[in-house]
Structure 1
Amino acid sequence: MAELGVSGVGLGRADSGGGAGRAGADPLLPQEENGVDGRAIRVGTRRSQLARIQTDSVVTMLRELYPDLHFEIVAMSTTGDKILDTALSKIGEKSLFTKELENALERNDVIGTSSLRRAAQLKKKFPHLEFRDIRGNLNTRLKKLDEKEDFSAIILAAAGLKRMGWENRIGQLLSPEDCLYAVGQGALAVEVRAKDQEILNMVSALHDADTVLCCIAERAFMKRLEGGCSVPVAVNTLLKDGQLYLTGAVYSLDGSDSLKETMQTGVSYPHQNEDGPNDDVQHVGITAKNVPGQAQEAAENLGVELASLLLSKGAKHILSVARQLNDAR
């Protein structure tokens, strides 16, 4: 969900029963080949099986909404797909994760994860366990676990496994009390050129308002902290009865030092049509035409305010030390 001069449009977030059970989605990049009038839209995706499943689900919805258009899926390899011998925190790639911890926790064994954020939180809660990097797509990681050469359990995203139809591989779900998730994790999104109003209008029909507001708050939180994959920053967001609750935390690499706070704000506003046009307004890289602008602004302010609270309590020092130690590894 990096900002690359395009607008992110939220689609929906997987409900997997726990904050750690949501999968980060690969961005999709609709590109006009002949324009909307030319009836041809190209959709870029990673080559992994999970990425293709997620991409196909989005394109299926678009085809149902726009049966006269032709959608072409273009698979491509990313830097993270090609570099498999380097920790994700070193190359800036966000991971997909699920859970399979139950038996390993009982045996005090090794746990595999490539996420600094997850490792830091779980080291704090389970200091007797050893955590090591594990790379590759879901198929590759599960094969490494099954071969039992290096890992007794691996941490993956339950939402990712569910999208693959592999729910039987989930041994234990981690609750938000055990492990907060990454910013934007579990949200499927479409990336579009920022000024491409025709494509933006098309994908706006797929918006899930709750997901949009949660992602805006989380991204604003991350942006204010100046965080990223090289430092352990985690969140949990809940929208209930018109109130948006955001929990945010920062951790040292070993989990020994941390800050965690929760704030809330009201996001009950009239529908966008009653609230006035919002065509060109972006909030932390997200364009959501069918979501009230005041609600989006409130969500962004919530993320900024929570990050500012953590910074006032020393978050900058924790993150600076974590970044330095990660760079030195």
Structure 2
Amino acid sequence: MRTVVIGTRRSELAVTQTQWVMNQLQGQLPSSWEMKQERIVTKGDQILNVTLSKVGGKGLFVKEIEQALLDGRIDLAVHSMKDMPAEMPKGLTFGAITEREDARDCLISRTGARLEELPQGAIVGTSSLRRQAQILALRPDLDVKPVRGNLQTRMKKMMDEKQFDALVLAQAGINRLGWEEKVTQVLIEEKMLPAVGQGALAVQCREDDHEIIEILKSVHDEKTAAAIQAERVFLHAFEGGCHLPIAGHAVREGGEIRLRGLVADPSGSPLLQGEAKGTDPAEVGRTLTSELMDKGARELLNQVKEEIEG
């Protein structure tokens, strides 16, 4: 008999994602095993009055959960891949990366206006410098303001409290909660390049827990994993957490991986973009890194970090 304890954040979306993984694993466990959830509060869930970039980007939504794994309190953890820092603590591994949901961002507006139709000076809420930069690159006349909290809280701030005219959110989370009918506009990649890992779930475990690693193979999607590897090599090169204005999205096209990437100033200008293709995911990530480094991406991000920390 073994009880497999699965760690998750407490938000409705995190719990829904974790339950989905548990449902997929149900038929894979030995009959004498059972699963249970442990809901863990992370630093990112506690500090809601400060923008994520100012809290100190890396691992805000995962650190406490990773510690529970290292301490043996839980056996595996389900994370949104876009929340995962570029580096992982020693002793932990990705047991599975799930098939990717829609990786794109979406806009939900109070009046049903699309991004290009919002009136001048309309207030758009987002928790992400990446989104802020791309919104302002398209519509420098908009007023982008930070919004924190879970999806329900953000919707309440817009619809009931009328603090925002529109929100930009991850389409994957909207789909997982069954809120598709609330979406005003799905933002195509050419307008809004997603965060690295967006739309995929990371199932993390201890690298010496061979029983769990074997079972997790059943929810692992190799095609998604290859795309994510290219994206994360690109992210890692800039020591990026998910709270710097860095975007990256890879897709498998035939035998090749195509990776598009972006590094931007939060104001929307400059906005450096590039693309790389190849068969080796890590090499594709490195190639795109070199291309954007040549355009001045390192210097731009150092300047952004100074402004955030200053």
* 1:38-90 superposed Cα distances (whole Å, 9 cap, x missing partner): 42210001111111110000011111222512111111111111111010112
**Inter-partner Cα distance in structure 2 for 1:179 and 1:153:** 15
Taking the aligned partners of 1:258 and 1:104, their CA distance within structure 2 comes to 22
Provide the rounded CA distance (Å) in 1 between the counterparts of 2:114 and 2:278.
39
- What are the within-5 Å matches in structure 2 for residues 63-102 of structure 1? 63-66=26-29, 68=31, 69-91=33-55, 92=57, 93=60, 98-101=106-109
> CA 1:98–1:148 in 2, change beyond 3 Å: closer, same or farther?
farther
Tell me the equivalent position of 1:117.
130
Give the SS at the match of 1:249. Answer: strand
Structure 1 equivalent of residue 92 of structure 2: none
Distance 1:229 1:207, change over 3 A: closer
Contact 1:183 1:234 in 2 (8 A): yes
Q: TM-score, normalised by structure 2?
A: 0.80
Deviations 1:161-220 (A, max 9, x none): 111111111011100110111111111110111222221111012111111001111110
Q: Is the 8 A contact 1:111 1:129 kept in 2?
A: yes
Distance in 2 separating the partners of 1:149 and 1:175: 26
2-side partners of 1:140 and 1:67: how far apart? Answer: 39
Q: After the TM superposition, which of the residue ranges 189-198 and 98-107 deviates more from structure 2?
A: 98-107
Task: Flag structure 1 segments of 5+ consecutive residues without an equivalent.
Answer: 1-37, 267-297
1:143 aligns with 2:156: yes
Match of 1:223 in 2: 236
Q: Secondary structure at the residue paired with 2:259? A: strand
Q: Distance in 1 between matches of 2:264 and 2:187?
A: 18
- Residue 48 of structure 1 corresponds to 11
TM superposition shift of 1:224: 1.1
The residue aligned with 1:283 is: none
CA drift of 1:99 comes to 2.0
Query: Which residue of 1 is the match for residue 64 of structure 2?
Result: none
Distance 1:143 1:54 in 2: 22
Does residue 303 in structure 1 map to residue 267 in structure 2?
no
How far residue 304 of structure 1 moved from its aligned partner, in angstroms, is: 1.6
Please provide the CA RMSD for this pair. 1.7
- Paired residue type of 1:39: R
Letter in 1 for 2:308: N
> Tell me, what secondary structure is at the counterpart of 1:57?
helix
Q: In 2, distance between residues paired with 1:230 and 1:189?
A: 18
List alignment gaps of at least 5 residues for structure 2.
62-81, 84-104
Which residue pairs with 1:18 in the alignment? none
- The aligned counterpart of 1:323 is 305
Q: 1:103 aligns with which of 95, 108, 113?
A: 113
Question: Which residue number corresponds to residue 200 of structure 1?
Answer: 213
Partners of 2:249 and 2:243 lie apart in 1 by 19
Q: Aligned pair 1:170/2:178, yes or no?
A: no
Relative to the length of structure 1, the TM-score reads: 0.75
SS of corresponding position for 2:308: helix
Cα distance in 2, alignment partners of residues 130 and 211 from structure 1 = 35
Contact 2:170 2:198 in 1 (8 A): no
> Would you say how many aligned residue pairs link Structure 1 and Structure 2?
260
d(CA) in 2 for partners of 1:85, 1:77:
16
**Contact 1:224–1:308 at 8 Å: present in 2 too?**
no
Query: How far 1:325 moved relative to its partner?
Result: 1.3
